[in-house]
Amino acid sequence: MKNLENKIVTSLAVIVLTTSISYAQEEERREKPKGSPSIAKILKDLDANEDGKISLKEAKGPLKKDFKKIDTNEDGFLSKKELKNAPKPERRERPRN
């Protein structure tokens, strides 16, 4: 009888753990943004000193990589206008399963 109880408890623990992991993975998938972020979102996330523009030190990812291309007036900052007119980064194709 004790052995059966241990098996039941173990089985329930495995089910709860599996369900928790599955739920966490689903939450992670839902949180990923679709498409490109808005200019307001980019400024909110990257403009550390809140001056309304992004410096090379504040830039990350494709913005940092293409900073000189985007900074059309060559003042060392990316303004809202420059971000709006920036070329869209090339999308990498996802490998098909």
Question: Which CATH number belongs to the domain containing residue 84 in this structure?
Answer: 1.10.238.10
So what's the pLDDT on residue 11? Answer: 72
- Owning domain of residue 4: 1-32
pTM: 0.57
Which residue positions in the chain have pLDDT lower than 50?
none
How many structural domains are present in the chain? 2
**How does DSSP classify residue 77?**
E
Clarify whether residues 68 and 41 are in a common domain.
Answer: yes
Please tell me the predicted confidence (pLDDT) of residue 81: 93
State both tokens at 40: 């307001």
94, part of any domain: no
Predicted pLDDT of residue 37: 82
Residue 54 pairs with which residues in a beta bridge?
A: 78
φ and ψ at residue 65, rounded to 5 degrees: -60, -40
